């Protein structure tokens, strides 16, 4: 929920309230329900609220509790349990909000409070006693927090575009990162962004600004690898039972809200399992919740049509289904708007599909959405996990490795053909990444290595960036039960053979929910997931825009760019659009 802005002037000058309000309101879409600012000497805090818990005025921010003033973007799901625990320690409460619980937790535990939270958050808190500003971002970076220095002022915001309202900031390209994005589509690999001098506070990190010295430090408070038990002694049946327990509890916690909630549904395994868990919760609270509403995007093109699978899930769990059938031919008309919300170029048309799904969900009164993001990273759902698994098996169980490879070929013939084709193209110099633009990532010797890399740098950060911006563009908070930290730590502690078995990815998830899945979904081995086809008309439009770019002003990184495939053409057009929206102006 919400959008925030903080300005700390190191020169000691008071913060300009008009400037603070303008920067706050650039992100008004993140918090349409109320707004506020708080000024104290050289510190200014601004907030736009999306009211999810205790929607009344008592939850408005900036929020003051004892000697702290707080602005929060996100939700602390376990706030009722924490409130009871803190009451026993003498803390007093005057609201029913998670914001007040966060403030009280800080007063009681100090900066260690974040270790007690189960949730998603980015917050900025001023402690008048310590005369310091404490900022934090949740363990996996579901909620964003950016910072930069502008004319001696440390500025923090939910979205980069908010800095455009602060005098002295002119957007400039971070050219190495722009080159990387253009050639790979990768972003959010580390603290750097596509904007020069603008950084993201990394997931699992705190930033503390000392007003007495006008300096800040950044510290990591959560290291996923340290939380993993590499040798859990569990049978497969026990692992299934524990997974179900943790996942159902994550869904229960994340359905805590005082507004209408729904879910995004494809015909794939992850969202089908989520539908089963959410429907179970709704059935137990039918008098209060009604039917679970699911929102989907459908395409009729071969290889993209998930309607048969989706319909089976809807029937199985009595969902109230809403479907959007986007007009791909008109996607370039929406690209500028989506680019503005993303702060970065849209790497493919799927971003626009998501944007339109959330747009429709908001018209149906949805303010909270649950999605299946994160399952692939924690349960080995990507094709790239297979060769890592096989190499590991070959060292200790060569016969099992061979059987796994044969099973994979039998269950994934289309994927195998695609991999062979891509290897052939690379051997002929027709595909692959130029080495100049390939980031130096550490090698992944195990599936655990690959999972952690996907979670911390290569895959999940971009997915969460997109999920947050495209949902919040319409005033919807999207939540991710598969990224409950207890579930992540548990899954990454499990042996590889519980995640991939007989050529089947996400084996544990599939078997744990076998009874709740339609047979058609349980037996499904391909992977689509809201992907968007390039229609002939869209391909033609991309070709025309690419040709027009040749005679137009463009950044130097595009001067020698040649889009050989339709996806590369899209990337060039999307990058040009981003440059014109943010940099050229």
If you write DSSP's letter for every residue of 298-318 in order, what string do you get? ---STTT--HHHHHHHHHHHT
Q: Is residue 432 scored above 80 in pLDDT?
A: no
Tell me what the pLDDT averaged over the chain comes to.
93
Mean pLDDT of 310-328: 96
pLDDT in tens, 7-47: 999 999 999 999 999 999 999 999 999 999 999 999 999 99
Report pLDDT for 438. 60
In the prediction, which pLDDT does 233 show?
80
Give helix then strand counts, H and E, for the chain. Answer: 21, 17
Q: Which H or E run contains 45? A: strand 43-49
pLDDT digits (tens, 9 = 90+) for 497-548: 999 999 999 999 999 999 999 999 999 988 776 689 999 999 999 999 998 8
Residue 429 pLDDT grade (very low, low, confident, very high; cuts 50, 70, 90): low
**Residue 232: pLDDT above 80?**
no
Question: Cβ atoms within 10 A of the Cβ of 425, count?
Answer: 12
CA nearest 363: which of 322, 308, 414, 406?
322
Mean pLDDT computed over 263-269: 95
Q: Binning pLDDT at 50, 70 and 90, where does residue 435 land?
A: very low
Which pLDDT belongs to residue 99? 97
Confidence of residue 413 (pLDDT cuts 50, 70, 90): confident
* pLDDT value of residue 132: 97
Residue 428 has pLDDT above 90, yes or no: no
Extended beta strands in 261-407, E state? 261-264, 293-297, 320-324, 368-370
Average pLDDT value for residue range 459-481: 98
E-strand ranges in 337-438 read 368-370
Q: Quote the percentage of the chain above a pLDDT of 90.
A: 84
Is residue 358 within 8 A of residue 334, CB to CB? The reply is no
**Residue 412 pLDDT:** 85
pLDDT > 60? residue 224: yes
> DSSP strand E in 60-141: where?
63-65, 68-76, 119-127, 132-137
Could you tell me which residues are beta bridge partners of residue 218? 207
The pLDDT value given to residue 489: 97
pLDDT, tens digit, 9 for 90 and up, residues 112-156: 999 999 999 999 999 999 999 999 999 999 999 999 999 999 999
| pLDDT above 60: residue 208 | yes
pLDDT > 70? residue 434: no
Quick one: residue 91, left, alpha or beta (phi over 0 = left, psi -120 to 50 = alpha)? beta
pLDDT value for 289: 59
Residue 69's alpha-carbon distances to 62, 93, 152, 207, 242, in angstroms, are 6, 15, 23, 16, 39
**SS3 call for 548:** helix
Q: How far apart are CA 20 and CA 39, in angstroms?
A: 9
Q: Is the pLDDT of residue 411 over 50?
A: yes
Question: Mean of the pLDDT values across residues 285-308?
Answer: 83
Instruction: Check residue 433 and give its pLDDT.
Output: 47
Per cent of the chain over pLDDT 70 is 94
pLDDT at 431 over 60: no
Q: Is the pLDDT score of 184 beyond 70? A: yes
Higher pLDDT, 561 or 97: 97
């Amino acid at each position: 929920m919400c959008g925030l802005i903080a300005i700390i002037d190191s020169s000691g000058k008071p913060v300009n309230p008009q400037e603070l309000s303008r920067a706050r309101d650039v992100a008004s879409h993140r918090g349409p329900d109320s707004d506020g600012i708080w000024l104290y000497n050289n510190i200014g805090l601004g907030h736009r609220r999306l009211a999810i818990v205790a929607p009344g005025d008592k939850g408005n921010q900036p929020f003051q509790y004892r000697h702290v003033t707080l602005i929060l973007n996100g939700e602390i799901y376990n706030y009722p349990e924490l409130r009871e625990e803190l009451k026993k320690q003498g803390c007093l409460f005057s609201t029913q909000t998670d914001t007040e619980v966060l403030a009280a937790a800080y007063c009681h535990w100090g900066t260690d409070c974040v270790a007690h939270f189960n949730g998603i958050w980015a917050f900025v808190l001023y402690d008048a006693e310590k005369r310091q500003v404490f900022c934090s971002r949740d363990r996996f970076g579901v909620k964003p927090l950016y910072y930069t220095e502008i004319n001696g002022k440390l500025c923090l915001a939910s979205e980069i575009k908010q800095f455009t309202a602060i005098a002295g900031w002119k957007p400039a390209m971070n050219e190495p990162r722009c080159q990387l994005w253009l050639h790979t589509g990768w972003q959010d690999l580390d603290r750097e962004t596509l904007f020069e001098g603008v950084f993201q506070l990394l997931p699992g990190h705190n930033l503390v600004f000392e007003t007495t010295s006008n300096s800040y430090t950044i510290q990591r408070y959560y290291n996923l690898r340290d939380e993993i038990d590499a040798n859990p002694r569990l049978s497969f049946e026990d692992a299934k039972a524990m997974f179900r327990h943790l996942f159902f509890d994550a869904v229960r916690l994340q359905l805590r809200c005082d507004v209408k909630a729904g879910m995004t549904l494809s015909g794939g395994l992850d969202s089908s399992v989520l539908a089963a868990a959410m429907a179970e919760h709704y059935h137990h609270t039918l008098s209060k919740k009604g039917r679970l509403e699911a929102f989907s995007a459908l395409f009729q093109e071969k290889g993209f049509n998930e309607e048969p699978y989706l319909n089976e899930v809807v029937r199985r769990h009595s969902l109230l289904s809403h479907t959007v059938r986007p007009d791909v031919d008109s996607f370039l008309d929406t690209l500028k708007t989506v680019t503005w919300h993303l702060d970065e170029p849209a790497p493919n048309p799927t971003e626009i599909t998501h944007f339109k799904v959330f747009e429709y969900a908001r018209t149906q009164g949805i303010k909270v959405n649950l999605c299946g993001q994160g399952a692939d990273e924690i349960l080995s759902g990507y094709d790239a996990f297979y060769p890592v698994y096989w190499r590991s098996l070959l060292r200790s169980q060569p016969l099992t490795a061979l059987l796994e490879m044969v099973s994979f070929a039998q269950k994934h013939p289309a994927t195998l053909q695609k991999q062979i084709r891509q290897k052939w193209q690379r051997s002929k110099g027709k595909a692959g990444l130029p080495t100049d633009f390939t980031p130096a990532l550490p090698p992944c010797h195990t599936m655990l290595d690959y999972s952690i890399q996907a979670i911390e740098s290569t895959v999940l950060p971009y997915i969460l960036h997109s999920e947050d911006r495209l949902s919040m563009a319409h005033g919807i908070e999207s939540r991710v039960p598969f990224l409950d930290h207890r579930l992540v730590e548990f899954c990454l502690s499990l042996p590889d053979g519980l995640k991939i078995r007989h050529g089947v990815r996400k084996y544990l998830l599939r078997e744990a929910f076998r009874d709740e899945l339609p047979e058609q979904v349980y037996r499904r081995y391909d992977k689509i997931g809201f992907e968007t086809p390039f229609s002939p008309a869209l391909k033609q439009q991309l070709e025309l825009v690419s040709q027009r770019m040749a005679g137009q002003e463009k950044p130097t990184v595009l001067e020698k760019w040649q889009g050989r495939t339709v996806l590369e053409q899209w990337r060039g057009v999307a990058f040009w659009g981003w440059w014109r929206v943010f940099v050229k102006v």
